[in-house]
Amino acid sequence: MSVFIFNRSTKFDYYNWLSDSSPVIYAASEKPLNTPGKYKLVRRFDSLNTGLADKLVLEISKKTKLNRIVSQSEYDVIRAATLREYLDIEGQSLESAHAYRNKVVMKDYLNRAGIKTAAYRKLDSSVDLIKFVHNHGYPVVVKPIDLAGSRGVELLRSEQDLNRYLSVPVLRPYMVERFVNGKMYHVNGIFYQNQYHFIAAYKYINTSLDYQSHGCYGSMTMDPETILSKNLISFCKRVIAALPQTDPLAFHAEIFYTDNGEFLLNEIASRTAGSLIVELMEKDYGFNLSRSWVRSQCGLDPEIQPDSQPISYSASLMFPTRNAVLRNLPFFVPFSWCSNLYVNGKQGVQNAKAATYTDDVLSIIISGQSEKEVMSRVNEASEWLDAEILWVKVNTA
């Protein structure tokens, strides 16, 4: 089997995950790959946001038959689908890729299927935003239609916020939505050969915009037997059924449970999740969802045990960077139930404000035997870490 891979991560061990199929692997990658000597070709790019990576695929396809094209990032979904259609390779279609990548197209599909969404519209001009605010009032959320990780998301609560937003030129397509009062959850899984091999619901700790105000942020495994968990999964399946069908599919769906008791889709991506969510699954369910996704894209058994149940409950915590000098970071924690400590911050120098919720100085996983126990430990660990991570605001005036 010949496979071309677009890679932007250090967490994907493609060759070992596919080794039972004796793969011939070609890769375009921003990051170092594990066992690079096992690959037929690895072409490193400073950034995969270059047409040279697409040209490489076409040049290889002239000399050998590519059986699969694999992507792991949100930013390569459409290019991979475009190349598949051009080269007549199995996998996600361009129609499906656009529906999962473009948030306006996505919600248009849901509306046609009778699935309620928050009021929204694509912004073609500043007038569109002003009219939307006039019709729906504050607060509203403005965001790019095609970015990920809450990058570029703005919450406008007042006329002052609107004026500030309008004062800066917009360089890419944006949309606006009415702000939703409620809690946000996410559902993740794999759909392969016309069945769900895995699907599970998670709750967010705080919200996906807390990084903008320096709050810690994370996710927590939910008990799959609760009514809320089952309803989130049922709603997610309705969303997937409303979008152009594709098989295989990995998905990461963000869903609001509103104060009025409704489920509303925030957005859904056709990829596995980031921000330690895959690590939570591996700790609690015993398998790596990204491995299963790569295998599914290559037509291989995802190797997930049916009716998987959590063997433990875990949560992630991430502490965002700030526009300040980082004076202290802990390199250990005094809790046996903490693991996967990643220390990313730069001490003694000026850091930048987080541009996305993945811009953190420290992240960690917390485990226990129930949701209640994990939440108690999250509170204890976050209080300790808040006291240990020290920032100093430098007056530059």
CATH, residue 54: 3.40.50.20
Could you tell me if residue 100 is inside a domain?
no
Could you tell me if residue 45 is inside a domain?
yes
In this prediction, residue 212 carries a pLDDT of 47
CA angle centred on 51, ends 45 and 54, rounded to 5°: 90
* Segment 14-29, tens digit of pLDDT: 999 999 999 999 999 9
Task: Give every CB contact of residue 229 below 8 A, 6+ residues apart in sequence.
Answer: 200, 201, 222, 223
In this prediction, residue 340 carries a pLDDT of 92
- The reported pTM is 0.91
Could you tell me if residue 6 is inside a domain?
yes
DSSP string for residues in 29-80: ESS--SSGGGSSEEEE-S-S-SHHHHHHHHHHHTTS---EEEE-SGGGHHHH
Could you tell me if residue 57 is inside a domain?
yes
Query: Does 324 share its domain with 367?
Result: yes
Could you tell me if residue 205 is inside a domain?
yes
Of the candidates 222, 235, 294, 233, which has an alpha carbon nearest to the alpha carbon of residue 263? 235
Query: Does 126 share its domain with 228?
Result: no
In this prediction, residue 395 carries a pLDDT of 67
In this prediction, residue 171 carries a pLDDT of 63
CA angle centred on 268, ends 29 and 135, rounded to 5°: 125
| Three-state DSSP state, 322 | coil
Query: Does 265 share its domain with 349?
Result: yes
- As beta bridge partners, residue 73 has none
Q: What DSSP character marks residue 211? A: G
Rounded to whole angstroms, the Cα distance separating 39 from 93 reads: 26
Helix (H) or strand (E) holding 115: none
Query: Does 244 share its domain with 388?
Result: yes
Give the tokens for residue 280.
Answer: 């939570």
Owner of token pair 């002052």: 160
Question: Which structural domain range is residue 136 located in?
Answer: 119-178
In this prediction, residue 150 carries a pLDDT of 65
Query: Does 172 share its domain with 188?
Result: no
- What is the side-by-side order of every strand in the sheet holding 24-29? 41-44, 24-29, 2-7, 68-71
Rounded to whole angstroms, the Cα distance separating 397 from 338 reads: 41
Could you tell me if residue 334 is inside a domain?
yes
Task: Give every CB contact of residue 179 below 8 A, 6+ residues apart in sequence.
Answer: 118, 138, 139, 140, 141, 155
In this prediction, residue 58 carries a pLDDT of 98
In this prediction, residue 151 carries a pLDDT of 73
In this prediction, residue 357 carries a pLDDT of 67
In this prediction, residue 349 carries a pLDDT of 86
Query: Does 268 share its domain with 125?
Result: no
Could you tell me if residue 150 is inside a domain?
yes
Query: Does 188 share its domain with 172?
Result: no
The low-confidence residues of the chain, meaning pLDDT below 70, are 148-150, 171, 207-215, 306-307, 357, 395-397
